[in-house]
Structure 1
Amino acid sequence: MSSLFPALTGSRAADRPALRFGDRSLTYGELGAASGALAARIGGTGRVAVWATPALETAVAVVAALEAGVAAVPLNPKSGEKELGHILSDSAPSLVLAAPDDELPPPLRELERLDVDVRAAGPRPDEQAVAPAGDDDPALVVYTSGTTGPPKGAVIPRRAIAATLDALADAWQWTGDDVLVHGLPLFHVHGLVLGILGPLRRGGSVRHLGRFGTEGVTRELTGGATMLFGVPTMYHRIAQALPEEPELAKALGRARLLVSGSAALPVHDHERITAATGQRVIERYGMTETLMNTSIRADGEPRAGTVGVPLPGVELRLVEEDGSPITSYDSETVGEIQVRGPNLFTEYLNRPDATAEAFTADGWFRTGDMAVRDPDGYVRIVGRKATDLIKSGGYKIGAGEIENALLEHPGVREAAVTGEPDADLGERIVAWVVPADPQSPPDAGELADHVASRLAPHKRPRTVRYLDSLPRNDMGKIMKRALTS
């Protein structure tokens, strides 16, 4: 079995820093010893659940599972008992890995528990006698958000992790000299695969903030970190803090790469960060089932509002509603993104019906994301097919571009756009707005004219509704299904 983490199997990197969470850290030698000891105990046990708190124990547990050839099921510590019960019954893990002081909720107490000792000593991964694991064998089972039903377990093979991380290394010029800082949760692919496994595959290091804050970002980037991963909510907070925190601006200006993902970063926040720091935030596009599909390249044009070009090894096409490919890159024609490549998951666990529905007959994965492509191939995502594609007056309109236009208005702090049935238009565009000044919100007509002047008259919102805040999930994504009149 080939290791996903070459730096763990040699002695040259033994003293190099690998992981740091707050004031706790592990070198590669210590990580290899701890993961090796745990891997020896869990080898051959079948799937294992991991109580995925933002801590060293989670990283050691997942690395140990991967080195032992055992599939890990990361669990969100904020999940309710019903959701946890569903995931456990569906994935049927043989035991749960957790930090010694973690208190586990009732559904997990029926499982055998194994506490993770980050200071344990065991054989290095290359010295272990473990069952062979192939490239297509499961590495992770990551559960989707379940917006249209119970969460589905996406089975991610070892080759998908290797393919995505190596493609990102090419796109981002990511090396063992890079030090990544992030404060993302570790139960999904952004925080775990990119944020933890990514640096370890390169032989670099990661500093996890535990909880995101601009003070931590400033401290770590000032202290030698070279890359920052975040979601739009984090970068929005950074953009808001920059005028009052000059040291934050200096720290961001030192970074080699600022990367945003998991949702679109509004163009307004792009511009505010660049104006204050001289740095461009780059975006990438992926999802649980595909890991990473596209990215702005480190040596490419950092074009705000786009997610760049397909990564090496990834095929990407846009298709019409009837499945026919769109061949014109005109920045206007909207189609659904379909992808194909070694980065894809293999199946939804125990759901052959959903797996079959997710793929075309010729092996393309239906992402459900809608996009346009620029003439040079850059991809601009305009929203989800189910919630962000609005058919109004004969036009196909992406909610994302209207949201960006609204956010350029000084009276708008947050915005989301949806469609509602309309007898005349088919669907009318509805803007949900959090005003910058709740006591003096911008007039609905003013906002409609603002959008029409920047995009086109048919893209203006016909209805504006004002909120104190937008409903968001743990990743900062707006939950549009919760927006109802």
Structure 2
Amino acid sequence: MLHLLKKAKIHADRIAIQINGKEFTYGYLDERSDEIASFLLGDESDLNEERIGLLVRPDIHYVVALWGIWKSGAIAVPLSLSAKESELDHYISDSNISLIISSNNCEEQKNIPQKNNIDIQNIENINAAECMSLPTLSNDRKAMIIYTSGTTNKPKGVITTHGNIEAQITALVEAWKWTKDDHVPLILPLHHIHGIINSLCCPLYVGAKVSMLGGFNVDKVCKEISQSDYTVFTAVPTIYFSLIEKLEKTDEAEIFNGFKKLRLMMSGSAALAPEIHKKWEALTGQKILERYGMTEVGMALSNKIDGERRPGAVGEPLPYVEIKLEDENGNEIME
């Protein structure tokens, strides 16, 4: 099983998740996800890669549901909360989802096609009479199906194994020097790699703290940054554009100081325009680190944390990653 899940026992007393003034320890994540896994297993000893959809808001319930699915031996299929009925119909049928875990009173449930006759379990109602013995999972077991954005055709489901997720996490932890003293605000959707792996799994792997802000709101983020002890910030270009608009209209020193004290600011999921790089550095003194990954291969390239961060470039291969350059005819480029 993922070291991510095992390490929760090591960090049991540390704060893992902070949300709306409430704090949850790693011990809570471990125990609650065991309970969810036991409920999902029922009379089975292993769900053997059954596909379970995850339509849960970005809060503590998402984390324990994801971990519970993994611990049961099932495959997690994170679903977009903004998905339309036709999109959910595609995800459900394409990945053969048998069950969907959803937030209580989740308005998004209305978009789940009734024709699929999918069992829906509200996360807060999931309880197990007793925790069962959980299956032992090898690295080659399938763990997650993430759907592409579907820019060329219908979104495609990409399967990742426990070993693949582990490799991505350890590469990023080493490259970006994550430690247990880090604190990151999570403002990204949790149905893509950027949110799931970079913003959630990496900090939890090392015993750090994640504040789940429930999405991006420019005023809320600026207030949080000015008042909290965040050390890492990762976002997409549109978020940086909104933050620049906000900072150019304010003279609140606390906001500027909050951004200036961060040890690392990153951008991904799309190219960051060079002018955004320049404006952000002029406003905060921070050079944004760009990196590159895609659903099909995971995280692959990154500018160096202690090296040059060149606007318009995504750096070099991450630790333990190999790349090959080819021309349009498939010939390897050696220079």
TM-score normalised over the length of structure 1: 0.63
Matches of 2:204 and 2:243 in 1, distance apart?
27
* Structure 2 partner of 1:236: 241
Match of 1:19 among 17, 20, 33: 17
Deviation at 1:121, TM superposition (A): 8.3
Residue identity opposite 2:182 in structure 1: D
Higher RCO (CA 8 Å, separation ≥ 6 residues): 2
Structure with higher Rg: it is 1
* Structure 1 partner of 2:4: 4
* Structure 1 partner of 2:38: 40
Matches of 1:8 and 1:122 in 2, distance apart?
22
Deviation at 1:52, TM superposition (A): 3.6
Q: What SS does structure 2 have at the residue aligned with 1:97?
A: strand
* Structure 1 partner of 2:210: 206
Would you say the 8 A contact 1:34–1:117 is kept in 2? Answer: no
Residue identity opposite 1:42 in structure 2: L
Matches of 1:88 and 1:119 in 2, distance apart?
21
- Say whether 1:263 aligns with 2:265: no
Would you say the 8 A contact 2:290–2:313 is kept in 1? Answer: yes
- Say whether 1:59 aligns with 2:63: yes
Gap runs ≥5 in structure 1: 329-485
Would you say the 8 A contact 1:141–1:155 is kept in 2? Answer: yes
Would you say the 8 A contact 2:84–2:111 is kept in 1? Answer: no
Q: What SS does structure 2 have at the residue aligned with 1:303?
A: coil
* Structure 2 partner of 1:89: 93
Pair 243,147 (structure 1): closer, same or farther in 2 beyond 3 Å: closer
Q: What SS does structure 2 have at the residue aligned with 1:318?
A: coil
Deviation at 1:189, TM superposition (A): 1.1
Matches of 1:20 and 1:108 in 2, distance apart?
33
Would you say the 8 A contact 1:39–1:65 is kept in 2? Answer: yes
- Say whether 1:105 aligns with 2:110: yes
* Structure 1 partner of 2:293: 286
Gap runs ≥5 in structure 2: none
Residue identity opposite 1:203 in structure 2: G
* Structure 1 partner of 2:144: 140
Would you say the 8 A contact 1:81–1:107 is kept in 2? Answer: yes
Residue identity opposite 1:197 in structure 2: C
Match of 1:316 among 311, 318, 323: 323
Pair 122,231 (structure 1): closer, same or farther in 2 beyond 3 Å: farther
Matches within 5 A, 1:232-381: 232-245=237-250, 246=252, 247-328=254-335
Residue identity opposite 2:38 in structure 1: A
Q: Which moved more, 1:46-55 or 1:274-283?
A: 46-55
Matches of 1:201 and 1:118 in 2, distance apart?
27
Pair 7,119 (structure 1): closer, same or farther in 2 beyond 3 Å: farther
Deviation at 1:106, TM superposition (A): 5.0
Pair 56,281 (structure 1): closer, same or farther in 2 beyond 3 Å: same
Higher helix fraction: Structure 1 or Structure 2?
Answer: 2
Pair 120,24 (structure 1): closer, same or farther in 2 beyond 3 Å: farther
TM-score normalised over the length of structure 2: 0.90
Q: What SS does structure 2 have at the residue aligned with 1:5?
A: helix
Provide Cα deviations, 1:25-82, integer angstroms capped at 9, x if missing partner: 4211211121110011223341111004222222221121122232100111211111
Would you say the 8 A contact 1:96–1:108 is kept in 2? Answer: no
Matches of 1:255 and 1:309 in 2, distance apart?
23
Match of 2:199 among 183, 187, 195: 195
Matches of 1:57 and 1:223 in 2, distance apart?
23
Q: What SS does structure 1 have at the residue aligned with 2:139?
A: coil
Matches of 1:250 and 1:217 in 2, distance apart?
14
Would you say the 8 A contact 2:85–2:113 is kept in 1? Answer: no
Deviation at 1:237, TM superposition (A): 1.2
Matches of 1:196 and 1:118 in 2, distance apart?
24
Residue identity opposite 1:241 in structure 2: K
Q: What SS does structure 1 have at the residue aligned with 2:4?
A: coil
- Say whether 1:31 aligns with 2:25: no
Matches of 2:142 and 2:271 in 1, distance apart?
29
Deviation at 1:122, TM superposition (A): 8.6
| Aligned alpha-carbon RMSD (Å) | 2.1
